[in-house]
Structure 1
Amino acid sequence: MEECYEKKHIRSEVLNIALPVLVELFLGSLFGMVDMMMLGRIENSKIAAASIASVGITNQPLFIGLSLVQALNVGGTAMVARYIGSRKNDRIESVVKHVVLLNLILLVLPIFIIGIFFTEDIMSLLGAQQDAIMVGKNYFKVIMVGFIFQAFNLSIAAVLRGAGNTKTPMKINLRVNLINVVGNAVLIYGLLGFPKLGVVGAGISTCISHIVASIFLARHVLKKDDLIKVSLKTPLKYDKNIIYNLIKIGVPASLEQVAFRIGILLYVRMVASLGTVVYATHQICLNILSLTFTPGQAFGIAASSLVGKSLGADDLEGAEEYIKESRKIGSIISSTVAVIFFFFGGKIVGLYTKNPEIINEASTVLKIIAFVQPFQSSQLIIAGGLRGAGDTVWTLVATFLGVMVLRVILAYLFVRVLGMGLVGAWIATFVDQFVRWIVIYLRFRTNKWKYITIR
């Protein structure tokens, strides 16, 4: 009876943290899909395809920046969770300030400057065709401004989630995503007397939504939150222990993201070389794939927070149970999504475009995506738990082997050598996800992650 109660309690805690994140990420991905559909419905089909392709290409360097920010945030999440578990709440404010300022100085401002001054060079390097560069260069500049605020938002959300507060980021993100969708419609198509700006309008709307989110989040941590309290009157004092923890956890996480993004950039160049229409098809598939990441990411965040708190309280068995329960629920959800994609892929792609060539090829890719789902979800959730424990070295190993080595080599073989086109590129993605799952799962089974310490 007691064991049954304990399992229900674990499930309840996992769901309390994961469900708000799941709703936030799912609706955020859905809004992103709507944005892409709006671009795909621009009257001139060539401009529509170039707009979609330019968004996909310009998002790659943006994602590099955001990934590095998130890597540093991993340390913030792990520390906040550990300090709460060990009742050292007085250290949390210093963690928040260190994470935000280090992100701004070391990552955000340098990436912003490079993005603004080398826009066309970056797009060309990524394999963008001239039509995509002409349509997308101003969009790139606008989203780089939004990147400053988006990075701040990610840092604050990370420490809130470390404390188990996932409802606040959810509520704020849902509001600003709604603002973004309405703003996109108005500025892309020139509604309500506004100019018709196309893809640049989408960038402006996105930038405004990030600024609004920053205002909401800053107001929350300055005035409202019980655990994450920040005072502008209290001066930041350099804390070598926090810096040590951020380096110990954040450096492998940063290298993981660098390996991931370099691998993805090489992969994207191969896909982009197939032409603008094929790349637009690929971008639509990625946009739909983003929806399938949500269960793994949501339950990975839940596992990260709960594992950190458990290890902070020296509850090693509880930490393992939280990972197992998170993986179980997340896998059920992702498998359901896989079935939908396998049987109804064509109808989903039809929401983006009327081009029969794109619909046919993207439908085939969605069937491959369906098979990816169980492995993708499981490795995302277990990896989230390992990061909550501060074990970021093995997630680095898995990503380097899966993305940098296997995905890139196999994509080259399938796309360039065997001429399998876009389908070949996505088969390489399946192999990558499967291998990453094996590495992460084997690391989890060793139990060595339970004994990683932080200062």
Structure 2
Amino acid sequence: MKMNNVTKQIFLLAWPAILEMMMHTLVWTADTAMVGRLTPAAITGVNLGANIMFAVGHIFGALGIGATAMVARYIGAKEKEKAEFIGAQALSIGMVMSVVLGILGILFAKPIITSIVDDPEVIVLGTDYLRIVMGGLIFYIPLVIGNAILRGAGNTVIPLISAILANTFNIIGDYGLIFGRLGLPELGVRGAAIATGSAQALGAIVTLYYVIRGTAGIQVKIKDLIKWDFKTIRNVVGLSTPAGLEMLMNEGSRLLSSFWIAQLGTVAFAGHSLAIAAESISFMPGYGIAIAATTLVGQNLGDNNVVDADESAKKSVLYASILMGLVGVAFFLIPYPIMRLFSTDHETVALAAVCLRVGALEQIPIAIAIVVSGALKGAGDTKGPFKIALITNLTVRLPLIYFIVFVWRLHIGYVWAATALQFMVEALLMVVRYKKGQWKSTEIQWEQ
């Protein structure tokens, strides 16, 4: 890859990934916006259930991060058969984990929700929602890993197609099942959960069809799925474990923060949840470009091209910062009109608008943090981002939010200010880690 083609390569990989991430985010935002027409209790129940399900999915779906790094490295080294075998082993273990976690989630949904809130209405609605979407988790983790395999091979288009089909289905299902339209029964929160779980199943079917068929640049063979090679699994899991721990730290911190924020009251938590739903859309350019950085860094290092790997990472950071910075300007200038799109409850919208305006300050730091993290992971350095997540969550985010909620008893906007500070520190530490340059010599070994 020539230096003057680095920008082209970034956006060829990034634009489908950006659109894909946006479509996946609509699973949550569509649920939130439509349920937002019901009650604050419904908003709280849906967001608690969604937070838990996606947290579990992201933590265990982190197996895909190791798969992306290894597949990209061997694709870059022109060793496609090794890349395909590694992908098959990652997908196989992911399928087993998803079934176990889905069953556990269905069985323990009520105790989980009850341990978080004591509002009887929220408990009923949250339990119903969580039970159904945890069934969808059985498909969600294989979907995440399948998409990761495709991205490692340089294909970000098929994950986009999968997301478009699944989330179009989800939005239509939300509209029909929440409000009783299109000849469907009116199920409220339960309808939102059914639509979301069904969409995840559809997305997994589409992605795995292309992965197994082999028309998307890489093929996972059935025989490699059903015959485990424990050395390969150990290598994939070993590389993915720090990424999984990073997800555990981030998602665990986010969940614990949500539980604490819930103590501020149903309306405060609903406003916070709506602002999160709106802000999550802004992350999509950053995540999409981070995916491009992961793939390009991994493939270039596999081809022993450190110069292009470095250039890909730096330009990815620049482009993500510009795009997310522009979104941040909109959040700061017009937060109330944006939040009106998500709910008709005036008190909830007013609180959410304050949160979103504060959230404008963290857009560029988030862009830097997630893209540099993606570049490091593409190089096989999954330990660095985990250590940084550990530091920022335990020394910045959690202590500050605890004091804001339980000691100082401040407005929900201060919680968002604490989160903004966390991302600023995280961005700085990621850049320091990258500039040390150890990622350039990170080796990824595969034994069979």
Shorter-chain TM-score: which interval? over 0.9
Output the CA distance in 1 between the equivalents of 2:118 and 2:275: 18
Output the CA distance in 2 between the equivalents of 1:355 and 1:304: 41
- CA contact 1:260–1:399 (8 Å) conserved in 2: yes
Q: Once the 2 structures are TM-superposed, how far is the Cα of residue 236 of structure 1 from its aligned partner?
A: 4.8
After alignment, is 252-261 or 281-290 more displaced?
252-261
After superposition, give the CA deviation of every residue in 1:190-220 in whole Å (9 maximum; x if it has no partner).
1133221001001111121122222222221
What residue identity is the alignment partner of 2:387?
V
1:337 is matched with which residue?
Answer: 327
After alignment, is 207-216 or 408-417 more displaced?
207-216
1:257 is matched with which residue?
Answer: 247
Output the CA distance in 2 between the equivalents of 1:387 and 1:225: 26
Output the CA distance in 1 between the equivalents of 2:261 and 2:338: 22
After superposition, give the CA deviation of every residue in 1:286-317 in whole Å (9 maximum; x if it has no partner).
10111111111111100000000011111111
Match of 1:13 among 1, 9, 16: 9
- CA contact 1:126–1:265 (8 Å) conserved in 2: no
Structure 2 residue 424 is matched with structure 1 residue 428: no
Output the CA distance in 2 between the equivalents of 1:405 and 1:130: 34
Output the CA distance in 2 between the equivalents of 1:355 and 1:60: 22
- CA contact 2:139–2:201 (8 Å) conserved in 1: yes
Output the CA distance in 2 between the equivalents of 1:128 and 1:213: 35
What are the ranges of 5 or more consecutive residues in structure 2 without an aligned counterpart?
A: none
1:45 is matched with which residue?
Answer: none
**Aligned ranges 1:256-405 → 2 under 5 Å:** 256-405=246-395
Output the CA distance in 1 between the equivalents of 2:255 and 2:166: 29
Output the CA distance in 1 between the equivalents of 2:224 and 2:184: 44
Output the CA distance in 1 between the equivalents of 2:118 and 2:95: 29
- CA contact 2:86–2:236 (8 Å) conserved in 1: no
Give TM-score, length-normalised by structure 1.
Answer: 0.94
**Aligned ranges 1:147-226 → 2 under 5 Å:** 147-226=137-216
Q: Once the 2 structures are TM-superposed, how far is the Cα of residue 7 of structure 1 from its aligned partner?
A: 4.4
Match of 1:88 among 57, 79, 87: 79
CA RMSD of aligned residues (A): 1.7
Q: Once the 2 structures are TM-superposed, how far is the Cα of residue 240 of structure 1 from its aligned partner?
A: 5.0
- CA contact 2:110–2:127 (8 Å) conserved in 1: yes
Output the CA distance in 2 between the equivalents of 1:89 and 1:285: 43
1:103 is matched with which residue?
Answer: 94
After superposition, give the CA deviation of every residue in 1:101-131 in whole Å (9 maximum; x if it has no partner).
21233x3233222211111110122336322
Give the fraction of aligned pairs with identical amino acids, expressed as a percent. 30
- CA contact 1:143–1:204 (8 Å) conserved in 2: yes
Output the CA distance in 1 between the equivalents of 2:227 and 2:111: 40
After superposition, give the CA deviation of every residue in 1:161-217 in whole Å (9 maximum; x if it has no partner).
011100111012112111110111010011133221001001111121122222222
Q: 1:379 and 1:164, CA in 2 relative to 1: closer, same or farther beyond 3 A?
A: same
Q: Once the 2 structures are TM-superposed, how far is the Cα of residue 10 of structure 1 from its aligned partner?
A: 0.2
2:46 is matched with which residue?
Answer: 55
Q: 1:189 and 1:173, CA in 2 relative to 1: closer, same or farther beyond 3 A?
A: same
- CA contact 1:89–1:227 (8 Å) conserved in 2: no
What are the ranges of 5 or more consecutive residues in structure 1 without an aligned counterpart?
A: 43-47
Output the CA distance in 2 between the equivalents of 1:278 and 1:379: 28
What residue identity is the alignment partner of 1:170?
L
- CA contact 1:415–1:424 (8 Å) conserved in 2: no
1:40 is matched with which residue?
Answer: 36
Output the CA distance in 2 between the equivalents of 1:389 and 1:322: 12
Output the CA distance in 2 between the equivalents of 1:171 and 1:235: 24
After alignment, is 444-453 or 201-210 more displaced?
201-210
- CA contact 1:186–1:192 (8 Å) conserved in 2: yes
Output the CA distance in 2 between the equivalents of 1:229 and 1:128: 49
- CA contact 1:222–1:231 (8 Å) conserved in 2: yes
Q: 1:31 and 1:237, CA in 2 relative to 1: closer, same or farther beyond 3 A?
A: closer
- CA contact 2:210–2:216 (8 Å) conserved in 1: no
Output the CA distance in 2 between the equivalents of 1:376 and 1:235: 36
